[in-house]
Chains A and B, each alone.
Chain A
Amino acid sequence: MSTIESLPTGHAHDHHDASYLTPKGGFWTTIIDWATTVDHKKIGVMYLVAILVMFFLGGVAALAVRMELFAPTAFEAGGVIKNQVLTGDGLAGGYQNYNRVMTLHGLIMVFLVIVPSVPASLGNFLLPLMIGAKDVAFPRLNLASWYIYLFGSMFAILAVLLGGVDTGWTFYTPYSTTTDAEYWRVVWMVLGAFILGFSSIFTGLNFVVTVHKLRAPGMGWFDMPLFVWGIYGAAVIQVLATPVVGITLLLMIFERLFRVGVFDPALGGDPVLFQHFFWFYSHPVVYVMILPGMAIMSELIAVFSRKKIFGYRAVAFSSLAIAGISFIVWGHHLFTSQGPVGAAVFSALTFLVAIPSAVKVFNWIATLYKGSIDLKTPMLYALSFLFLFSIGGLTGIYLGALSVDLQLHDTYFIVAHFHYVMMGGTIIAFVGGIHMWWPKMFGRMYNEFWARIGWAFVFVGFNVTFFPQFIMGSQGMPRRYADYVDEFTIYHVISTVGSWLLLVGFLIHLFVFLHSLVAGKKAPPNPWGALTLEWTHTGPTPIEHNFHHEPVVTHGPYDYDDVPPPQTRPGEFPMPDPLPEGAERH
């Protein structure tokens, strides 16, 4: 790779050639080193572990929800989780426990998993490496954001240990400000979400400044890998949208504690104002979730088809367009509660945001054209993303169309839609990304065969779980129901069986990862033949401060036609014939 050690360096220290993973000393020294580290790579790895643990918890809740809906036997017989999973502190019967588990699933998956998932783990690890920086702009703030994440999660877990909340993850008032009045659970949960917001703001702020100020010499805005563009777009939204939910949640806490009345119609307040405030954050945050998934996609597609991303600028600008438009479409969550003028405006704007997302999909598929496509596990996940995200995106058209949305709003159709986008998009890309960068993060290869088996289970299980939900939704099955009429039984049964396939798939992945950590083959420095800066190290993992010298960038991130990948054997990755003398490059 043509990174030239050209910049003058200061007084030379001893060279730390050691991998960032090398223990600093004995067991406790190493633990303290990790707990106090300001190294973005270690923080990224710690985030990854925490997020996977939370994903497991949220997944257990999801399986419990599906189990209940598999056999929501009659009221008097007591459903599967009605009285068994969580003890209902003496509250006899009812659907309370289902509602709490359903809320728990939503809260964990949104606030603790998907929002931080890609940016905080892979983003933290890769962003400085990809732009040739030695760390993020504010390393201590980065560590603070990790501890704030833990701190906020503790409040959320406290609320669960006290019995859980049954508000739904959207906390709609006045239900959320009046339910369970004698307990503090809702306050703890909302406080947790409020604190997690700071973690999100600090991460986003750090990334924006890092991308602006710390790019290596020679790396202009359009020389950045598209991963950086996607993370950057998400970071901008995180910084600008999260404060609004901050004040909203703060007002809600005041409302619960002091009955201030801003969202309570009984006290002159306005519950729809809460919905506006909430979605002013929570719609943009949908793009905080998906943009990093798209960011990973651009890298996977380019690396495993050895092609320059088709229409690089269009993909980069579409990230910014999505970030921008995302702020003015929140009202499409309120089609059934607001007036016709607002509905018309928000419907039109919603269709506008569909275009940049569609453009990205078109460009990725066009990138495959004339490539050299290698169906390794990350690429299988990238292709699954195209499949699932297309379904998720196309079903968004139904929901943007006003008259159809009056039918589909708050039914399983919307549940299926956002699972196809959030899980089929972000989580699928995330899992693909973990596979791609696993060798770089841990220095070991994973077992390709078993990873592919895991992928097959996840892909099939996902569709079996969520596709029937579109059909029952368009037939009228409302969401957040603990019980349903007989017509929907067959769809719920299929869906639950699918959730078991998903479980098997993710367990296989977990096994593959653990096996790799214990007994995986040592990874070569650049197993996929990628061109971005994180693959330039001579060892499998990055060194402690990323680069010995500030790299100087002389080629684009995807010039696979002309630049042999760094740290690979000659001929390991086939190159096209060199351009004839005088021929023009595309």
Chain B
Amino acid sequence: MTSPVLAQQWLQDQLLTEPGSTGAATTDGLFMFITWISIVSFVLLMGAMTWFVIRYRRAGGRAPIRSASHNTPLELTWSIGPLLILVVVFFWGFHGYVEKMSAPAGSEEIVIRGFKWGWDVTYDSGKQPSELAYPGVGAPDQNMVPVIKVPAGRPVRLRLYSSDVIHSFFIPDFRVKRDVMPNRYTSFWFETLEDNPEPEVIPILDETGAPVIDPDTQQPMTKLQYPRHVVYCAEYCGDSHSQMMAFIEPVPEEVFQEEKYMVTVFPTKWEFGEYIWQRQCSTCHSVDGSGGTGPTWKDIWGKTHKFSNAPDTVVDENYIRESIIYPQVKLREGYGSDMNSFVLTEEEFEGIIAYIKYLSGEEPE
């Protein structure tokens, strides 16, 4: 390869992550174009400045030299010249923007709800992602974020809304983000570059981090994992804004179809409750007695708590239900009013009540 191409590649590797979508590749072209324009203009400007400062410094009381104090053709040139370059940048940028916003027909649609603080993902089948992963931020047992599997090489449209404040769904590798609004849908789409992603073999770990052993074969259990792209929340939304992450994992079509229609069966109600907790409650409420934005769920069942705006109340089914639907009615002493109302199904209420009982040693394991 020629050296300019190498220089370009080197610079791009320093500044940008590996592009993950078709839109990202287009955007990177414009990004690098602007980078080169900036470098050239900056070097020219600073070169001229440095040269003048050295050449015309006031050494030994040297006087200024008379010169023109304006030059209309020159000034017009340096006003209109940059404008022409900026016109190119504008159209290039607008083209890329429209490309990222309008999804082609037949895209796979995934609905994503942002809430304080997490992403609730629903596939077209009505099912949710089966896998959670630790993103490297926050406490490993509390901040497990959804892994959104998407069909590789096929257009995917994300439809986004929020159930409380404004969030923003940001996928750095795809060079795109979109604000997530309450009471309104926004959307964008992408098509991943990996037509045929190469999976890695990953050992399955249990909660303590030890490998899970298959009882039949006595071998460590493994699974296939495809390269993932990280998702951030980019619009400031409060306490755990910096933990509000997710992963996008482009997978072959058959893996995606399996994921999309996978039904998870929970042997007990409390395990279903734990599943809900991990997806919606764990950023604020711990289950091991430690503090957080909200009070812990450990050993609270049947206890009487103090509230800053209500009389003392015993934790029972009614209290739990009320705290989920109307979280502002009873605020635990020492805690703020950060929680928004959550809309749950009856099964989910049952699950959470069972899980809280379980955490207090009430429900048989």
Contact = CB atoms under 8 A, between A and B. Distances in A.
Interface of A: 74-76, 90-96, 99, 166, 168, 172, 174-175, 178-182, 265-266, 271-272, 305-314, 335-337, 340, 343-344, 347-348, 351-352, 354-355, 358-359, 361-363, 365-366, 368-375, 383, 386-387, 390-391, 394-395, 397-398, 400-407, 409-411, 471, 474-476, 478-486, 560-561, 574-577, 579, 586
Question: Which 7 pairs across A and B sit closest by C-beta, in order of nearness?
Answer: A476-B172, A92-B291, A403-B96, A401-B93, A402-B97, A574-B63, A90-B334
A400 B97 contact: no
B22 interface: no
7 contacts: A99-B236, A168-B236, A311-B70, A312-B69, A354-B82, A401-B93, A406-B27
B79 A474 contact: no
Given A312-B70, A383-B49, 11 more contacts: A93-B290, A95-B242, A370-B67, A383-B53, A410-B168, A478-B170, A482-B241, A483-B138, A485-B135, A561-B66, A586-B69
Contact of B177 (A174, A310, A336, A387): A336
Contact of B37 (A372, A397, A576): A397
A405 B178 CA distance: 11
B75 to A, nearest CB: 5
A358 B82 contact: yes
B312 interface: no
A475 B15 contact: yes
Contacts of B291: 92-93
Nearest to B231: A476
Given A271-B182, A311-B70, A574-B63, A481 B46 contact: no
B41 interface: yes
A409 B234 contact: yes
A467 to B, nearest CB: 12
A343 B186 CA distance: 15
Contacts of A179: 238, 336-338
A401 B93 CA distance: 5
A74 B99 CA distance: 39
Chain B CB within 10 Å, residue with most, of A90, A306, A368, A402: A402
B331 interface: yes
Interface in B22-75: 23, 26-27, 30-31, 34, 37-38, 41-42, 45-46, 48-49, 52-53, 56-58, 61-71, 74-75
A468 to B, nearest CB: 11
Interface residues of B, number: 106
Contacts of B96: 401-404
A347 B340 CA distance: 36
B34 A401 contact: yes
B349 to A, nearest CB: 22
A574 B61 contact: yes
B78 A362 contact: yes
A343 B97 contact: yes
A576 B92 contact: no
Nearest to A409: B177
Contacts of A265: 181-184
A94 B334 CA distance: 13
Contacts of B62: 372, 574
Contact of A172 (B68, B75, B236, B293): B236
A373 B95 CA distance: 46
Contacts of A91: 293, 334-336
B336 A182 contact: yes
B95 to A, nearest CB: 7
A336 B75 contact: no
A185 B64 CA distance: 57
B139 A74 contact: yes
A483 B335 CA distance: 22
A507 B23 CA distance: 47
Interface in B285-329: 290-293, 308-309, 328
B293 A94 contact: yes
Contacts of B340: 178
Contact of A355 (B45, B79, B234): B79
B179 A481 contact: no
Given A403-B27, A586-B66, A94 B86 contact: no
B235 A172 contact: yes
A461 to B, nearest CB: 19
B165 A482 contact: no
A369 B71 CA distance: 13
